[in-house]
Structure 1
Amino acid sequence: MRRLAVLGSPIAHSKSPGLHRAAYRLLGLDWEYSAIEMRGDGLAAFIQGLDDSWRGLSLTMPLKQDVLPLLDDVEELAVLAGAANTVLFEDGRRRGFNTDVAGIVRALGEAGVARVHHGVVIGGGATAASALVAMAELGAAHVRVLVRRRGAAAELIGLGSRLGLVVDEARIDELALAREAELVVSTVPGGTDLGVAVSDTLVHTAALLDVAYDPWPSPLAAGWIAAGGTVVHGLGMLLHQALIQVRIFVHGDPLAPLPDEDAVLAVMRETL
């Protein structure tokens, strides 16, 4: 039996086990997928102690960054985003991938968001970096990063330069004033109250993707919905990034479709 797991802290709420188990059942694979509580200071020892039965790992924050020094190979996308949420054990090597970017792009595509010129990202961590890369893939020319602490977006500004788009930093309070955007992506933890009302103009011109899905709706999403705006549920990103992880664990390649992939996606969606 091959073994896989999602690691993070807290992890009890994770829907990843249900998603992955449904996929492997349909594919006829007798694979075990569990959830393991893990903090960054225990990650290296955990990975080093795994035996040959292990096929891979899914990682939540802050492990997406902590894992990078422990990998033998890291795909270009994960290097660019500075985060790997997927580890594949193959031929004695640890290979790192980022499926968050594809998860964001695919979830937005399902919601009808295919192009972005101006975007807003809330938060400055690893998921924010993936959101920035996703916006670049959707054609963004300018992204404003909203953070609580001055200078917290410095790494994202540098990433923007490498992606060929303009990134600037502003405080969270800017949400009350923002006018020009087609997409807002919030990467802050579920349940976070930003303490600011969003401008009516922004709610009615931009779709909101809130990557947090527990609890749902977040205070931000609830306000957006109440004002009549378009909200993309964080579970959409979770679903699609998990599908790409299944591709990696089965084929070793994020671009290789699964057998009857539409059916696989459907049974995964049913677990949400």
Structure 2
Amino acid sequence: MQLTQPEGRPFRAAVIGHPISHSRSPDLHRAAYSYLAALGEYEAVDVEPGELDAFLHQFRTDLAWRGLSVTMPHKRAVVAYLDQIHEPALTLGAVNTVRAVRTSDHPVRLEGYNTDVQGIVSALRFAGYKGAGDAVVLGGGGTAAAALSALAMLHVRSATLIIRNPDKADSLMRVAQALGVNLSVSTFDGALKVIAGATATISALPPRAADSVADHLLHACTDLFGKVLLDVAYDPWPSCLASVWEAQRGVTVSGLDMLVYQAAEQALLFTEAPRALLPGVINAMCGAVGAPRR
């Protein structure tokens, strides 16, 4: 039997990371809770790496806590504190969502999820991408791993990873193998040719880190007609890469769309709202951050 919050007492949820002041997650979740008439509070909490253990102890023991959105640098470190990890987080070894499940016969069970994957899938579908052809992933971090999982969900079986140091691609190669994705590795020097031959590119790089790729695309005058770019860096938007992509007739989708979709999945987990309400949650979140309604 699952325990509920005492009547009239709001549950607590938060996004944790370091730094965290830039996060749009509080705006998104508060809009979702308002739409769902859910009695919940959501905040941004700056948790430095050395503070994660103490924070998660409080999260586990305080009955008010319901859920966490987890961002850098904690997506891998938090795994060690969880009682259960759901796919695709288990394969990726990275968690962006923690839910506290409290029952009458057990104090608490911390469950880990990775909603980044569904966020990427939904953002690509929003841009019209149906999964045909090869794909490109820029970057070698945790978001790149989530991108590979998203491509696998879209039945993409061949992708190229563009990374500055190919020697650091081993972990992503293992992820791709587990997902059934045939992954090639290229350096940034070979990015133009690979991007030109792909139907979709996912930039999983921090803001401005893809500017050199944008500059090369601009001077090469590559025709990107119909090709989809998801740039997870959404501030500022459009990014340099997105601006060049659109100028060369490509289709772009912002990381803000990905953020909305993954946060909507989190909101359903934290509030236990029925999945039929997901479209309304997404539109409520879009309204909160000025994104177009779906």
TM range, smaller chain: over 0.9
User: For the Cα contact (< 8 Å) 1:172–1:194, is it kept in 2?
Assistant: no
Runs of at least 5 residues in structure 2 that lack an aligned partner in the other structure:
1-9, 103-107, 290-294
1:217 to 232, 235, 238: 238
Counterparts of 1:71-220 in structure 2 under 5 Å? 71-91=82-102, 92-178=108-194, 179-196=196-213, 197-198=216-217, 200-201=221-222, 203-204=224-225, 206-220=227-241
C-alpha deviations, 1:39-93, integer Å up to 9, x for none?
3222121111231110010011221111111111100210112211000011201
Structure 1 residue 200: Cα displacement: 4.4
Number of matched pairs: 268
- Aligned residue among 21, 28, 33 for 1:19: 28
Structure 1 CA distance, aligned partners of 2:199 and 2:72?
27
Residues in 1 aligned to 2:58 and 2:21: alpha-carbon distance in whole angstroms: 22
Q: TM-score, normalised to structure 2's length?
A: 0.86
Q: Which has the larger displacement, 93-102 or 196-205?
A: 196-205
- Displacement after TM superposition at 1:31 (Å): 0.8
Once the two structures are overlaid, the 10-residue window that deviates more, 104-113 or 195-204, is 195-204
User: 1:194, CA displacement in angstroms?
Assistant: 4.2
Give the TM-score normalised by the residue count of structure 1.
0.93
**Corresponding position: 1:238 with 2:238:** no
Q: In the alignment, does 2:50 pair up with 1:41?
A: yes
* Aligned CA-pair RMSD: 1.7
The answer to whether the 8 A contact 1:55-1:90 is kept is yes
- Which structure's CA Rg is the greater one? 2
Distance of 1:85 and 1:228 partners within structure 2: 33
Which one-letter code corresponds to 2:162 in the other structure?
L
Q: Encode CA deviations 1:182-204: one digit per residue, 9 max, x unaligned.
A: 11000111122442313544733
State the alpha-carbon separation in 2 of the partners of residues 136 and 201 from structure 1.
Answer: 27
From 20, 32, 41, the counterpart of 2:41? 32
* 2:83 counterpart of 1:62: no
